[in-house]
Amino acid sequence: MKQNIASAVNALDTVKSMLKDIAADMDKSKELFTLSELGEYVDRFCIDNSIKKSDICLLANISSTTLTSALKKPEKASMTTIVSIGAVVGFELFIGRKNV
């Protein structure tokens, strides 16, 4: 019985280590970009997924004018607009400080 328990504990430790490695790899693979790069990110997303910006507008429930403005000057777009676009193209918004 003791051997079975020790074996199970070792197996759990191995799985735990594997999960930590996977989580670390996932964190490394997260692509971060600045808000000023939003237009490039959306353009790349459209190309990679063979969709049009009009599809993004429809899914984000925003007008094409709003999308165009947000992609040209994202710092002037509302937080709601940015988050709506992000929900469609698969990014989350994180707010951080510049490294000084």
Q: Where are the domains of the chain?
A: 1-30, 35-89
Residue with tokens 């607009």: 81
Most confident listed range (19-23, 88-92, 95-99) = 88-92
Fold that domain 35-89 belongs to in CATH: 434 Repressor (Amino-terminal Domain) (1.10.260)
pLDDT tens sequence across 22-36: 666 655 556 677 888
What pLDDT, on the 0 to 100 scale, is given for residue 52?
Answer: 94
pLDDT tens sequence across 40-93: 989 999 998 999 999 999 999 999 999 999 999 999 999 999 999 999 988 888
Measure the CA–CA gap between 45 and 50, rounded to whole angstroms: 8
Cβ atoms of residues 22 and 55 within 8 Å: no
Of residues 12 and 67, the one with the higher pLDDT is 67
Helices (H), the chain: 2-29, 38-49, 53-60, 64-72, 79-89
What pLDDT, on the 0 to 100 scale, is given for residue 91?
Answer: 84
